[in-house]
Structure 1
Amino acid sequence: MSVQVDGQISIVSCSGPEWCEQERRIAKAALYAIHAIHHRESRRYTIKEKSKEVLRLMCAGYQDREIAEWLGIKLVTVRQRRQAPMQAVEASSTAQLISLVIKFGLI
C-alpha cells in the first residue's frame, strides 16, 4: 500500500492478507502524524543571518566562488556558513538544502 502525504509517497507494506479500509485509514493517519511531527521539528531550526545571506545567493543560482567574491569573504567561509544549515535540516546535498530551507521558510 502507498499513501501520499504532502506530495511525498510513503509505502507501508506487510505480509499477509490485504488490508481492510479501517487499517488503511489508520496507516494513513499515522503517516500524517509522522509528517506533522517532522515538519514541526524542522521549523524549530534557526539559521544565522550570515548563513542566510549565503543561502539566498545559492537560491539565486550563484556558485560558491561567486558568493565569496560578492560578500568579500573566503571560499572556505562560504562553505562553513552552508554547513550549519545543512546539518540543521539534515540535508545530504546542496540541492536538498535549498529545497528544504525554502519549504520550511527558513530564508
Structure 2
Amino acid sequence: MIVKLELPIELTREDEHVIAICPVFCVGSQGTTEEEALANAREALELFLEDKDVQKEYADTILEYAVSIILEDKEKEFKDKHSLLDDAYENPHMTKLDVKIHGYPETSHPVGT
C-alpha cells in the first residue's frame, strides 16, 4: 500500500542557511536556498517515514495527512476526505510524499470503502 501525503513545511532563515521543518513530525533539514532546504527536508521525511516503527507510532497522523491511498495489488486509488486547504493557506510551503506503508496486508482496506 502506498499513502500519498501532503505535509506543511515551515521555512526560516538563519544567517546564510534556510531551515525547513515539518511541524507534524518535527523533522527537518537545511540548505543554502529555499529549494535546497525543501528538497533536503523531503528526503529527511521520506527516510523517517519508511521506518516500520515510525509508521506504527504515527499511523493516525499519517492517515490524517493522507490525500490518497493506493492498494498496489488492485491498482485502486482511494481519495481521502480530509481537506488540507486550511494548512495550505496558513503555510504556502507544502511537500508531497509517497510512503510505502508496512504492516497492512495488500488486500486490507484501512480507509472506509
TM-score scaled by length of structure 1: 0.29
TM-score scaled by length of structure 2: 0.28
Higher strand share: 2
Higher helix share: 1
